[in-house]
């Protein structure tokens, strides 16, 4: 029987789980490490899920109407997902994007017809970022109150406070993991950016089995800008949720859902991403490398022998070819 899809919206989700067996053998891991390959989404990242969910939620609520422009702030992947959804649904799209993201992200958004504006190019946002030491949450508030409030016929997605963000992971990502493992999952590992993935997926898995351990990843100290190191190698899209003022934590991050915080440095993420490309033939991004690194260290703990660890790999390595991730001259 023929099976022909009519829109990319029908292709979002149902991404596969892969056991990285060669990598497990190399590290002599006694736990099973399964990775959820979110680059199987139509625009190659986990953010396709929330892009579609937030747009369709807004349409149902009458917040997004024909002729409107969709607007968002992002480190890249949400912008790409939204640009594609906007294109297929006939909306204009504008994104305020973090300055340090790879050039591939800008190129892809432009290919879908989207408009990109660097955060530093919008005076109101640049001022807040400078005054707060790079507080992304404060920057979004400034954008909403000082810039977008003066415009008409726009829908500001606001992924860091939009409840449709974690909700879609509770209704899709979590159930997919549970079904594909037949409920045999002991530990779930995910990065924290907006917190939507770990919060929504974690809620679903905990509801099915309260004994499942949820591990949330944040950048290590050396991967965050500081006075001593203002431009470090960073894990794009991954932000701290502990050790920062609570107002800097996105509303979409459930601070009660996780059992352990795990810190990963960018160079550790690079090393893991480079290695798994050579052992198992998957080309992944920096945050995916961070997830594999964290899962590896957790798998090495004696108490986790024989357990099943599931880690979400947010995106493809193809968006990082202009960065140091796969730059062989950059030693890790």
- Looking at residue 54, its pLDDT comes to 98
Give CA–CA dist 97/16, Å, rounded: 29
For 8-40+166-320, CATH number?
3.40.50.1100
Say if residues 40 and 12 touch (Cβ distance below 8 Å). Answer: no
Please check whether the two domains, 8-40+166-320 and 47-156, share a CATH topology: yes
Q: What is this structure's pTM?
A: 0.95
pLDDT reading at 201 higher than 90:
yes
Measured distance CA(134)–CA(103) in Å, rounded: 20
pLDDT value at position 119? Answer: 85
State the burial class of residue 296 (Cβ atoms within 10 Å of its Cβ: 0-12, 13-18, 19+): buried
CA distances from 175 to 163, 195, 200 (A): 18, 18, 10
Residue of 281, 289, 296 whose CA lies nearest to 325: 289
pLDDT band at 102 (very low <50, low <70, confident <90, very high): confident
- In this predicted model, what pLDDT tens digit does every residue of 37-93 receive, in sequence order? 999 999 999 999 999 999 999 999 999 999 999 999 886 899 999 999 999 999 999
Domain extent listing, the chain = 8-40+166-320, 47-156
Residue 166 or residue 74, greater confidence: 166
Is 287 annotated in the active site?
A: yes
pLDDT tens for each residue of 255-303: 999 999 999 999 999 999 999 999 999 999 999 999 999 999 999 999 9
Residue showing tokens 């497990």 = 24
Residue 120: what pLDDT?
85
Q: What is the mean pLDDT of residues 107-123?
A: 93
Per-residue model confidence (pLDDT) at position 1: 75
Please tell me which residue in 75, 199, 287, 288 is annotated as part of the active site: 287
**pLDDT number for residue 98:** 79
**pLDDT for res 323:** 93
Average pLDDT, the chain: 95
Q: In percent, how much of the chain has pLDDT > 90? A: 82
Taking the alpha carbons of 41, 202, 50, 141 in that order, is the dihedral positive or negative? negative
**In this model, does residue 155 exceed pLDDT 80?**
yes
Sign of the torsion formed by the C-alpha atoms of 178, 180, 186 and 191: negative
- Residue 326 banded pLDDT, cuts 50, 70, 90: very high
For residue 100, is pLDDT > 90?
no
d(CA 217, CA 286): 13
Residue 53 is predicted with a pLDDT of: 98
Residues in the chain, how many? 332
Q: CA 219, CA 289: separation in Å to the nearest integer?
A: 12
Mean pLDDT confidence for 119-126: 87
Task: Report the pLDDT value the prediction gives residue 167, as an integer from 0 to 100.
Answer: 98
Q: Average the pLDDT over each of 8-22, 133-147, 313-327 and give the range with the smallest value.
A: 133-147
47-156 has which fold?
A: Rossmann fold (3.40.50)
Q: Judge whether residue 218 has pLDDT over 90.
A: yes
DSSP 15: P
Check pLDDT > 80 for residue 209.
Answer: yes
pLDDT of residue 153: 96
The answer to whether 25 is a known catalytic residue is no
Which one of the listed residues 47, 206, 213, 307 is annotated catalytic? 47
């Amino acid at each position: 029987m023929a099976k022909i899809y009519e829109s990319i919206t029908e292709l979002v989700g149902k991404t596969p789980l892969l056991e990285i067996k060669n990598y497990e053998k190399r590290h002599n891991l006694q736990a099973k490490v399964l990775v959820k390959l979110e680059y199987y989404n139509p625009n190659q990242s986990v953010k396709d899920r929330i892009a579609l969910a937030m747009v369709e939620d807004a349409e149902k609520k009458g917040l997004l109407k024909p002729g409107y422009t969709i607007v968002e702030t992002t480190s890249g992947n949400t912008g790409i997902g939204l640009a594609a959804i906007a294109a297929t649904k006939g909306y204009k799209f504008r994104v305020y994007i973090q300055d340090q993201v790879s050039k591939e992200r800008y190129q892809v958004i432009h290919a879908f017809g989207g408009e990109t504006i660097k955060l530093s190019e919008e005076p109101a946002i640049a001022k807040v970022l400078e005054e707060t030491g790079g507080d992304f949450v404060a920057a979004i508030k400034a954008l909403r109150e000082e810039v977008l409030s003066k415009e008409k016929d726009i829908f500001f997605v606001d992924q860091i406070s939009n409840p449709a963000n974690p909700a879609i992971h509770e209704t899709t990502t979590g159930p997919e993991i549970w079904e594909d493992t037949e409920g045999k999952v002991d530990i779930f590992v995910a990065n924290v950016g907006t917190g939507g993935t770990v919060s929504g997926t974690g809620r679903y898995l905990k509801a099915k089995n309260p004994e499942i351990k949820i591990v949330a990843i944040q950048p290590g100290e050396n991967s965050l800008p500081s006075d001593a190191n203002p431009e470090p190698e960073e894990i794009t899209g991954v932000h701290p949720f502990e050790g920062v003022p609570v107002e800097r934590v996105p509303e979409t991050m459930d601070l009660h859902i996780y059992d352990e915080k795990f810190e990963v440095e960018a160079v550790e993420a690079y090393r893991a991403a480079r290695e798994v490309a050579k052992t198992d033939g998957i080309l992944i991004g920096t945050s995916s490398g961070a997830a594999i690194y964290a899962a590896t260290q957790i798998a090495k703990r004696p108490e986790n022998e024989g357990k099943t660890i599931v880690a979400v790999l947010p995106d493809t390595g193809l968006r990082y070819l202009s960065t140091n991730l796969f730059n062989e001259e950059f030693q890790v």
